């Protein structure tokens, strides 16, 4: 999202009174896409996902350019483990609004989840397309920490270790306390046999509450001074 995250929006609008107020507004004006969208967010905060899904469809029917609604529809699909549905709705989001960074980042994330090892050529195509979309995300939002981190993962999967390190370093430049990026840096530096840096970022990730893989900690233990 452009101004605050979905989770923050959901948390801020969960009261029954607020939901009833929105429904009252919709009785007066059923064609307001933003009100349908706000109702969906509030319903998601109460975990009423079926009702939220209907409100989101109403939102995009009234306001086809409401990219955030497509992203939330994708989030509902992801919760149902419907990766293809999530991918489809995020593609709609990027078509609804040019330069919508969150949509591109979500497309990249889902494509990485769809890599299953069954077809090497198909997996390589998904990986390349994921990288392309994640690069678009950070072009449109140069401070998108999660996009840099996911891009770093994608680079690592492609064997581009230096590029992975740079992407994750950019993430921690923007948000120094982002633990996933520190963990990813530990993985990448370990692969480069730069053990001091791997240990530093491993310890930093753990200090920030990230559960580092035991296998990596065991690999690094022999290089501690």
Please give the average per-residue pLDDT across 143-160, as a whole number.
97
Two tokens, residue 84: 């293809």
Residue-wise pLDDT tens digits, 155-165? 999 999 999 99
Q: Is the pLDDT of residue 176 over 50?
A: yes
Q: Is the pLDDT of residue 17 over 90?
A: no
CA distances 177 to 84, 205, 207, Å, are: 32, 8, 10
Q: Write the CB contacts of 109 (distance below 8 Å, at least 6 apart in sequence).
A: 130, 150
List phi, psi (to 5°) of 208. -95, 5
130 near 108, Cβ under 8 Å? yes
> How many other CB atoms sit within 10 Å of the CB of residue 95?
14
Question: In percent, how much of the chain has pLDDT > 90?
Answer: 90
In the chain, alpha helices (H): 6-12, 16-28, 33-45, 49-62, 67-79, 83-96, 101-113, 120-140, 145-157, 161-174, 179-191, 195-207, 214-221
**How far is 173 from 33, CA to CA, in rounded Å?**
37
Residue-wise pLDDT tens digits, 71-100? 999 999 999 999 999 999 999 999 999 899
């Amino acid at each position: 999202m452009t101004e605050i995250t979905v989770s923050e929006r959901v948390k801020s609008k969960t009261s029954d009174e607020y939901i009833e107020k929105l429904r009252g507004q919709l009785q007066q004006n059923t064609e307001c896409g933003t009100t349908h969208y706000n109702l969906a967010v509030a319903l998601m905060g109460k975990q009423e996902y079926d009702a939220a899904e209907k409100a989101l469809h109403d939102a995009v029917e009234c306001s086809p350019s409401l990219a955030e609604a497509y992203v939330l529809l994708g989030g509902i699909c992801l919760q149902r483990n419907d990766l293809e549905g999530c991918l489809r709705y995020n593609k709609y989001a990027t078509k609804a609004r040019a330069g919508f960074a969150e949509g591109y980042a979500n497309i990249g994330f889902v494509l990485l989840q769809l890599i299953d090892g069954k077809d090497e050529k198909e997996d390589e195509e998904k990986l390349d397309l994921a990288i392309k979309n994640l690069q678009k995300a950070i072009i449109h939002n140069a401070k998108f920490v999660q996009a840099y981190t996911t891009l770093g993962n994608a680079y690592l999967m492609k064997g581009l270790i230096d590029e992975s390190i740079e992407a994750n370093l950019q993430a921690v430049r923007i948000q120094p306390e982002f633990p996933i990026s520190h963990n990813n840096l530990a993985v990448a530096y370990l692969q480069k046999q730069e053990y001091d840096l791997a240990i530093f970022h491993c310890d930093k990730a753990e200090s920030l509450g990230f559960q580092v893989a035991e296998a990596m900690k065991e690999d690094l233990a022999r290089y501690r001074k």
